[in-house]
Amino acid sequence: MVNIFNKLFPKEGFPKVELRPKGRSGFLVYVEEAQECAMEFEISGNAEYDILAFSETIIKWSTGKTVSNEDKEEILKSFKKWAESKNYRVQW
C-alpha cells in the first residue's frame, strides 16, 4: 500500500525555501518534509539591500520543537543560497 503522505509530498525537492510576503514584510520559510521554520523579513528602504532578514526570529519549527543551533546554521545556509539564486541583496 502506497503511503498517501509520501505520494502527496514526495521527499525529493526538500529542503526548499519559500517567500511568503505580506505587504512590505513577510516570512522566508524553510520547508523540510513535514515541518517548516520561518524567518521574518521586510523590504529594505536602503538602496544597498532588497530585503532585511531577521535571523533572530528563527526560533521554532512548525511542530513546536525549538530549532537547534546546528539546524539554524543549515537553515541560514539554505536561505542565503536561495537569495543568491534569485539575485536578492539581503542584509542578514
Average pLDDT over residues 59-73: 96
CA 31, CA 61: separation in Å to the nearest integer?
A: 10
Q: Is residue 4 part of a domain?
A: no
Residue 65, domain extent: 10-91
The pLDDT > 90 percentage for the chain reads 80
Reduced to 3 states, what is the DSSP secondary structure of residue 57?
A: helix
Average pLDDT over residues 71-78: 95
Measured at the CA of 90, the angle between CA 85 and CA 30, to 5 degrees, comes to 65
How many domains is the chain partitioned into structurally?
A: 1
Q: Is residue 60 part of a domain?
A: yes
For 33-46, write each residue's pLDDT tens digit.
Answer: 889 999 999 999 99
Q: Is residue 2 part of a domain?
A: no
CA 73, CA 17: separation in Å to the nearest integer?
A: 14
Cell representation of residue 30: 524553510
Q: Is residue 29 part of a domain?
A: yes
Q: Is residue 79 part of a domain?
A: yes
pTM: 0.80
